[in-house]
């Protein structure tokens, strides 16, 4: 997940952001144990990808994760949804237990990989797609590419093709500063991971780049996440994926059109990841949050059955902060599909 990914950058800005993209709340139990090992390793053309499915039902719910994260990002959500439907998470190429690809994880590449993965595993449509951040862009591209397969969408703080430019405009260039600093941190972590056998245990680099995943994921899954993020492959994949953001944006922009009457729920953060705790909201922060809200509202309007929901108490990683809101949205869409 690279919980510390934006920590470096955000702390350095006077505009002020002191929290990571996903809040690291302590795991109350070791509920992520099933995600700590590969489940189905499916060939997608000379390399294998990890797919983790459980539950039963005519409709399959598929989850895609934010940038730099594996399918285990949904460990608080997928098991609950699996009580009502077939629910699957997957690891994009180079993350979790999936082999690396010789290309970056652009939205088009992810959609193509996912299509091959599902076919190879025999997981047939119809699908409800759920995606957070970059994963939200990826599932939109999939829905455009394979419209007959997709019967509903849940977009969780989904990436929009114009959000960087729009947020940068209202923040007087601060967003691009943040992204630039995050990219520098990625390079720092990649350099650290490329020495010896990866990022050294209990090192300053581990503290800065990874932190202690067990505080969020629990002991078993936390150990798997830590082992994964100590490797050079993880950081190479993360850097390549982030460097390809513009390509992903361009791909989504080229496909952009209304979703018709597709059931669609858009979940929007109620807490700014860039706010300074215990301080009044700045005018700059308000402008950015208002623009984010407007962007998300526009995505909800792409369907005549689209709705937007602001999730109080949740930041950008709603599945981490308020998993029950994601579960509720998925079940709502599932009822419309049935």
In a domain, 338, yes or no: no
Residue 40 pairs in a beta bridge with: 51
Q: What are the CA-CA distances from residue 123 to residues 50, 59, 76, 157, 337 (Å)?
A: 13, 10, 22, 26, 17
Structure tokens at 94: 């180079």
Q: Are 55 and 86 in contact (CB under 8 A)?
A: yes
The CATH number given to whatever domain includes residue 318 is 3.40.50.1820
| Confidence at residue 22, expressed as pLDDT on a 0 to 100 scale | 35
Structure tokens at 14: 């006077």
Give residue 294's domain range: 7-333
- Per-residue pLDDT 10s for the chain (338 aa) are 333 333 333 433 333 222 233 333 434 456 799 999 999 999 999 999 999 999 999 999 999 999 999 999 999 999 999 999 999 999 999 999 999 999 999 999 999 999 999 999 999 999 999 999 999 999 999 999 999 999 999 999 999 999 999 999 999 999 999 999 999 999 999 999 999 889 999 999 999 999 999 999 999 999 999 999 999 999 999 999 999 999 999 999 999 999 999 999 999 999 999 888 889 999 999 999 999 999 999 999 999 999 999 999 999 999 999 999 999 999 999 999 97
In a domain, 252, yes or no: yes
150-158 and 127-133 beta bridge pairing: parallel
Q: Are 288 and 144 in contact (CB under 8 A)?
A: no
| Confidence at residue 307, expressed as pLDDT on a 0 to 100 scale | 98
Structure tokens at 161: 């093709």
Task: Check whether the bond before 120 is cis (ω within 30° of 0).
Answer: no
In a domain, 320, yes or no: yes
| Confidence at residue 275, expressed as pLDDT on a 0 to 100 scale | 87
Total of domains in the chain: 1
Spatial neighbors of 258 by CB under 8 A, at least 6 apart, are: 302, 303
Structure tokens at 326: 């994601």
Torsion of CA 123, 129, 134, 137, to 10 degrees: 110
In a domain, 69, yes or no: yes
Rounded Cα distance between 225 and 97, Å, is 10
In a domain, 163, yes or no: yes
| Confidence at residue 154, expressed as pLDDT on a 0 to 100 scale | 99
φ/ψ bin of 86: left (φ > 0), alpha (ψ from -120 to 50), beta (otherwise): beta
In a domain, 151, yes or no: yes
In a domain, 295, yes or no: yes
Rounded Cα distance between 45 and 22, Å, is 33
In a domain, 1, yes or no: no
Other Cβ atoms less than 10 A from the Cβ of 172: the count is 11
């Amino acid at each position: 997940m690279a919980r510390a990914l934006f920590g470096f950058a955000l702390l350095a800005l006077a505009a002020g952001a002191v929290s990571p993209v996903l809040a690291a709340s302590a795991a109350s139990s070791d509920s992520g144990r099933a995600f700590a090992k590969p489940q189905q390793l499916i060939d997608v053309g000379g390399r294998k990808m990890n797919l983790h499915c459980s539950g039963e039902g005519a409709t399959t719910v598929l989850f895609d994760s934010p940038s730099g994260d594996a399918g285990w990002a949904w460990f608080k959500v997928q098991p609950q949804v699996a009580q009502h439907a077939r629910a699957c998470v997957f690891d994009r190429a180079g993350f979790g237990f999936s082999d690396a690809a010789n290309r970056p994880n652009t939205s088009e590449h992810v959609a193509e990989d996912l299509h091959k993965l599902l076919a190879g595993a025999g997981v047939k449509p119809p699908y409800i797609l759920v995606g957070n951040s970059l994963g939200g862009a990826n599932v939109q591209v999939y829905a455009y590419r394979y419209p007959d397969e997709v019967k509903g969408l849940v977009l969780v703080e989904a990436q929009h093709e114009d959000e960087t430019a729009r947020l940068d405009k209202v923040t007087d260039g601060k967003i691009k500063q943040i992204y630039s600093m995050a990219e520098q941190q990625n390079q720092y972590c990649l350099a650290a991971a490329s020495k010896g056998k990866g990022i050294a245990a209990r090192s300053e680099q581990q503290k800065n780049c990874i932190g202690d995943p067990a505080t969020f994921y629990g002991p078993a899954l936390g150990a798997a996440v830590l082992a994964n993020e100590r490797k050079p492959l993880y950081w190479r994949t993360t850097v390549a994926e982030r460097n390809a953001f513009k390509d992903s944006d361009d791909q989504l922009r080229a496909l952009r059109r209304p979703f018709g009457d597709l059931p669609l729920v858009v979940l929007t953060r109620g807490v700014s990841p860039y706010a300074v705790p215990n301080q009044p909201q700045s005018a700059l922060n308000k402008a950015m949050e208002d623009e984010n809200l407007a962007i998300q509202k526009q995505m909800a309007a792409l369907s005549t059955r689209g709705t937007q929901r602001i999730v109080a108490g949740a930041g950008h990683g709603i599945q981490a902060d308020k998993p029950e809101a994601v579960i509720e949205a998925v079940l709502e869409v599932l009822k419309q599909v049935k």
